[in-house]
Structure 1
Amino acid sequence: MSSKHTMQLLQILVSSALLLVGAAAARKTTTTHIKFYLHDIATAVPSSPATAVRVARGVTPLPVDPAFRFGDMFVIDDLLTEGPNAASPAIGTAQGFYIFASRTDFTLMLSLNMVFTAGPHNGSTIAVLARDAILDPVRELPVVGGTGAFRGATGYGLLRTYSGNLTTFNAVVQVDMYVRARASATH
């Protein structure tokens, strides 16, 4: 083999190795755990305006509570805070909607974007699309994407009702997000 061919082969091997190293680095992911609280206020009270508004009314009353109906749809812009108290530092909002998707119980179809407006994730979002059986003690919801530091995210969130009132349908939900995203993702 001539030295010219040897040099070309060496260049191809080095280029291939660099591409493989670059591809492996691009695939490197990190898992981030974020704990916060979501404040869902369906019935306004003097100290808190409604953050969940019914925009569609279903036809069939739910047997567990006739005030709610299969097909009821709420649009939300819920406060996200560091602690369970609404006066805790705000870190963002949960924007989206939920629909009562069961004819027999309190099970929602939930679609929301968690929009971070403060703290280390400011400017990033996490998208969730899931079934949420709101009376279960712990609900697992999949992460289907994100932006900013969470671009291309996967993972899950564990939701626990911290406090709630089935008469007013107001709740504070503890959220533990476990989000995997590329380590090199930037804003």
Structure 2
Amino acid sequence: MTTPYQRIPILLTLSITILLHFAHCHIIDEHNDINLVELELDQKAMKQKMSQFRLYWHDITSGNPPSSLPIVKPVTKTGFGQVNMIDNPLTLGPELSSKTVGKAQGFYGLASQEELGLLMAMNFFFTTGKYNGSSITILGRNAVFDHVREMPVIGGSGLFRWARGYVQARTHDFNLKTGDATVEYTIYVMHY
């Protein structure tokens, strides 16, 4: 027969075991909550949409006011190091007079010393139609003299939340005298 004092270690051990069990269950519950969140995201992934559309990007350096301004001047004769800040119109057709659907806002810089290679960092911000108030973020390399340039879509906002995909850029028109350019962008984007 055990005395009351001998039962204390047994009761203490039992109490600690019960506490650890509940603490372990709590950790498991927190872990299950995390899994439930992941499960909800996986269910949403099944409802993703693929959108494809074409826009025209107008880089106007000669306008009054221009839509593209150099904010860092080049340090070499090749132009390497120049950075332009942009607020370029996005239109449905190649003519600047066609319907404006948004703005390309951001910057591009001459990032290559050997060729005309740009680093493009910009948001295509939509101002009309179904995607009004939404944006797509593009960040990538643009080798200007390549016929087709591909850059990644790294995100978005509004109806383009969680966006990922790519764009293909093709020069539609480039004026050597003014430096103005019109570039066709075909966008392929996965979003919710």
Q: Take 1:138 and 1:23, find their aligned partners in 2: how far apart are those partners?
A: 34
- How many pairs are equivalent? 157
Aligned partner of residue 102 in structure 1, secondary structure: coil
Q: Which amino acid aligns with 1:49?
A: P
| More deviation, 139-148/96-105 | 96-105
Q: Find the aligned partners of 2:134 and 2:175 in 1 and give their Cα distance.
A: 31
Q: Which of residues 52, 56, 71 in structure 1 aligns to 2:72?
A: 56
Aligned residue number for residue 57 of structure 2 = 38
**Offset at 1:125?**
0.2
- Note the residue ranges of structure 2 that are not aligned, 5 or more in a row: 1-35
- Cα deviation, 1:27-84, whole Å, max 9, x if unaligned, reads 121110011101101122xxx631000011121111xxxxxx1100100000001111
Q: Taking structure 1 as the reference length, what is the TM-score of the superposition?
A: 0.79
Q: Which amino acid aligns with 1:168?
A: T
1:101-158 CA-to-partner distances (Å, cap 9, x unmatched) read 1112211011000000012211100000101011111100100000011101100000
| Counterpart Cα distance in 2 of 1:112 and 1:22 | 31
Select 1:75's aligned residue among 85, 88, 92. 85
CA shift for structure 1 position 89: 0.8
Contact 1:60 1:103 in 2 (8 A): no
CA RMSD of aligned residues (A): 1.9
Q: Is the 8 A contact 1:56 1:73 kept in 2?
A: yes
Report the counterpart of residue 105 of structure 2 in structure 1.
Answer: 95
Residue pairs, 1:59-138, within 5 angstroms: 59-62=75-78, 69-138=79-148
Unaligned runs of 5+ in 1: 1-18, 63-68, 183-187
Post-superposition offset of 1:164: 0.7
* TM superposition shift of 1:25: 2.5
1:150 to 160, 167, 172: 160
The 5-angstrom pairing of residues 158-173 of structure 1 reads 158-173=168-183
Contact 1:53 1:75 in 2 (8 A): yes
TM-score (norm 2): 0.77
Q: For the structure 1 residues 57 and 97, does the alpha-carbon distance in structure 2 shift closer, same or farther, using more than 3 Å as the test?
A: same
Q: Which one-letter code corresponds to 1:32 in the other structure? A: S
More helix by share: 2
- The verdict on how the C-alpha distance between 1:22 and 1:56 changes in structure 2, with shifts beyond 3 A counting, is closer
3-state SS in 2 of match to 1:70: coil
Q: Distance in 1 between matches of 2:91 and 2:41?
A: 37
User: What percent of counterpart residues are identical?
Assistant: 39
- Once residues 100 and 23 of structure 1 are traced to their aligned partners in structure 2, the CA distance between those partners, rounded to angstroms, is 39
Q: Give the structure with higher Rg (CA).
A: 2
Amino acid at match of 2:43: A
1:23 Cα deviation from its structure 2 partner: 4.5
Helix, strand or coil: the match of 1:43?
coil
